[in-house]
């Protein structure tokens, strides 16, 4: 097995015997090539799904298996226990146990700003709850939208009678659950609710028919802008207008080098070869647009900047830059990348007003990164510079 | 279980469904691993465990309230996009069951119709989009047509395609594996094999 490094190997259970299937790179579109039959290995069973090998269930890449190495107690309780720890570590935050909402202890007399989504992207979104940013963050299971009862709790924790703005990433599960919860809150409490949907990932074609572009790391900018606007006492329509303006000038692109492992699953959901990187891969491992040999920081910076520039022209504009790590990439590499990005943006006559480098919106232990550019005008610059005190983002 | 169906019978059916789901961990996880995160079984099972815990309360409720409660429980305990799609469908069904004490042959048609329609509007989907609608829509549609023609709807599953045992098993699977676009892919390939 070890001498066929570029091949994917899967075990496939069929009745009593276990077939060994080898799928070559060339055949990875679904076609399979049966290489032989070996003795069964207990514990490595993958169901035979009508001839389709569910090879993602058991990922054996390059002859070695990837096992889960996580500091946890119970895979089913990771979100709960994480939030318990977070609330203990940041006493200014309140944790609604059972409903998995992190909110500020003290409600301000202002528009509430809430965000939420699947867990596994820490510090997003609970790490951005605090003065100058979110009022509440609603956490779902890992990579899975929170349910309406949790969102309702988030809305009521954030609502001070002046309305609530939802900052959502563009995923159908989030949109459906938040929509249902908003309708319930409007009906039950009479809360005024509006929303902005972040769709910054240029790797996905923008389409109105399908769900369209995903929301990724650039979302953190929207938390900051909307939070600052609300903190200034803007009414709901103006908070939304500022956030929407930021969303319209926000573009991101990412790259992943290793898969991530969901605690409840225990094995990677997909495989990336040892020497390869996937450009445009989503923050839940959604397929990217190009698989290539791992680029140098310089090549990657150019690729990122070109792809973003091709989608929205930032030439001559001022922009905030976010170089985001996906959880498994050291800060050293992110700064190396930022060094290159700064050079390239300067060459392209894009003025960097403010930069952020770090793990702002992650994907469990995935190695990889993303670049986000936020186009700024005077209003957005002021909002970006406004004070903000949250566990994961402090501007003082 | 034959017509008419009471709330108590439906609650008993949920318990059976929960046992099936519990037993088919590997199968459901493998299906989901091929198209999604691989955690659908864990979430689905949590949801059905919750339903089973409340089965006595559910059985005692009026039918419409029973479906409403099932919807809320599914939505809030399964979570994600499947939770709201399943839950929303039950809540839509609850609206058609208002004032009814049992589900008769005609009411079942309305329930199926309401469930599929709710999933389509909520999820922004249509038949042919490679979602679970591709499995549910033809089922609801066939039921409606047969009910209109006044046939014995008991045999509707046999008419969709293939022998009845196979269709029944297939529907169970579809229901179980939820949001898997894989179903239409498998169907397109025309390959069915024995359950593991």
Q: Where are the alpha helices (DSSP H) in chain A?
A: 78-89, 148-158, 172-188, 219-231, 236-248, 297-311, 331-347, 378-385
pLDDT computed for residue B173 by the predictor: 61
Of chain B, the percentage scoring pLDDT greater than 90 comes to 54
Instruction: Report whether A349 contacts A395 (CB < 8 A).
Output: no
Measured on CA atoms in the order B44, B49, B51, B55, is the torsion positive or negative?
positive
pLDDT computed for residue B174 by the predictor: 58
- The reply to whether B34 touches chain A by the CB within 8 Å rule is yes
Whether the bond between B4 and the residue before it is cis, its omega within 30 degrees of 0, is yes
pLDDT computed for residue A207 by the predictor: 65
Q: How confident is the model at residue A100 (pLDDT cuts 50, 70, 90)?
A: very high
CB-closest option in B31, B46, B78 to A49: B31
Q: Give the pLDDT mean for A49-59.
A: 39
CB-closest option in B80, B124, B186 to A145: B80
Q: Is the complex ipTM higher than 0.85?
A: no
Residue B189 has pLDDT above 80, yes or no: no
B38–A262 C-beta distance less than 8 A? yes
pLDDT computed for residue A8 by the predictor: 40
> Which A positions 259-318 lie with beta carbon below 8 A of chain B?
262, 264-265, 267, 269, 284-285
Q: What are the angstrom distances between the C-alpha of A134 and each of A152, A165, A167, A388?
A: 16, 10, 9, 10
Q: Give the pLDDT mean for A217-237.
A: 98
Q: Give the pLDDT mean for A325-339.
A: 98
How confident is the model over A121-140, as pLDDT tens digits?
999 999 999 999 999 999 99
Of chain A, the percentage scoring pLDDT greater than 70 comes to 82
pLDDT computed for residue B34 by the predictor: 79
Q: Is pLDDT larger for residue B106 or for residue A380?
A: A380
**Residue in B closest to A51 by C-alpha:** B191
Predicted structure pTM score = 0.81
Low-confidence winner among A374-383, B103-112, B178-187 (lowest mean pLDDT): B178-187
pLDDT computed for residue B170 by the predictor: 60
Q: Give the pLDDT mean for B11-36.
A: 90
């Amino acid at each position: 097995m070890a001498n066929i490094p570029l091949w994917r190997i899967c075990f496939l259970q069929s009745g009593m015997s276990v077939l060994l299937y080898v799928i070559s790179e060339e055949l990875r579109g679904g076609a399979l090539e049966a290489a032989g039959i070996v003795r069964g290995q207990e514990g490595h069973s993958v169901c035979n799904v009508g001839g389709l090998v569910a090879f993602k269930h058991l990922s054996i890449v390059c002859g070695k298996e990837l096992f889960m190495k996580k500091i946890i107690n119970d895979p089913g309780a990771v979100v709960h226990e994480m939030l318990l720890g977070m609330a203990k570590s940041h006493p200014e935050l309140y944790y609604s146990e059972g409903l998995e909402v992190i909110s500020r202890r003290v409600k301000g007399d202002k528009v509430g700003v809430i965000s939420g989504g699947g867990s596994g992207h820490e510090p997003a979104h609970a790490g951005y709850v605090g003065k100058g940013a979110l009022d509440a963050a609603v956490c779902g299971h890992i990579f899975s939208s929170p349910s309406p009862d949790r969102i309702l709790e988030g809305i009521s924790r954030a609502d001070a009678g002046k309305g609530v703005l939802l900052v959502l990433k563009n995923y159908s599960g989030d949109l459906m659950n938040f929509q249902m919860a908003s309708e319930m809150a409007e009906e039950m409490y009479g809360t005024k609710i509006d929303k902005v949907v972040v769709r910054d990932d240029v790797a996905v074609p923008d389409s109105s028919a399908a769900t369209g572009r995903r929301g990724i790391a650039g979302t953190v900018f929207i938390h900051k802008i909307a939070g600052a606007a609300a903190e200034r006492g803007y009414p709901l329509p103006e908070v939304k207008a500022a956030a929407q303006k930021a969303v319209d000038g926000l573009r991101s692109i990412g790259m992943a080098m290793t898969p991530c492992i969901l605690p409840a699953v225990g094995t990677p959901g997909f495989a990336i070869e040892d020497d390869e990187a996937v450009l445009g891969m989503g923050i839940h491992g959604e397929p990217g647009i190009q698989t290539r040999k791992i680029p140098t920081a310089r090549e990657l910076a150019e690729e990122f900047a070109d792809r973003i520039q091709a989608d929205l022209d930032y030439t001559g504009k001022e922009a905030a830059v976010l170089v985001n790590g996906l959880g498994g990439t050291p800060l050293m590499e992110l700064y190396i990348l930022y060094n290159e990005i700064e050079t390239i943006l300067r060459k392209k006559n894009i003025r960097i007003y403010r930069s952020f480098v770090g793990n702002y919106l992650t994907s469990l232990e995935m190695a990889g990164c993303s670049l986000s550019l936020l186009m700024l005008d005077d209003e957005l610059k002021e909002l970006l510079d406004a004070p903000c005190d949250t566990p994961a983002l402090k501007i003082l | 279980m034959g017509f008419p169906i009471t709330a108590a019978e439906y609650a008993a059916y949920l318990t059976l469904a929960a046992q099936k789901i519990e037993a088919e961990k590997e199968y459901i996880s493998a299906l989901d691993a091929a198209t999604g995160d691989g955690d659908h079984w864990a979430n689905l099972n949590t949801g059905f465990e919750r339903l089973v815990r409340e089965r006595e309360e559910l059985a005692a409720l009026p039918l419409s309230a029973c479906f409403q409660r099932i919807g809320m429980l599914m939505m809030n305990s399964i979570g994600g996009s499947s939770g709201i799609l399943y839950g929303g469908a039950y809540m839509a069904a609850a609206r058609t069951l208002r004032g009814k004490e049992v589900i008769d042959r005609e009411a079942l048609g309305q329930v199926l119709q309401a469930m599929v329609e709710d999933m389509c509007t909520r999820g922004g989907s249509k038949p042919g989009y490679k979602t679970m609608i591709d499995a549910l829509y033809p089922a609801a549609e066939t039921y409606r047509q047969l009910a209109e023609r006044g046939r014995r709807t008991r045999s509707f599953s046999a008419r969709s395609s293939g022998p009845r045992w196979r269709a029944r098993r297939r529907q169970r699977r579809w229901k179980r594996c939820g949001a898997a676009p894989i179903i239409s892919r498998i169907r397109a390939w025309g390959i069915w094999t024995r359950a593991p």
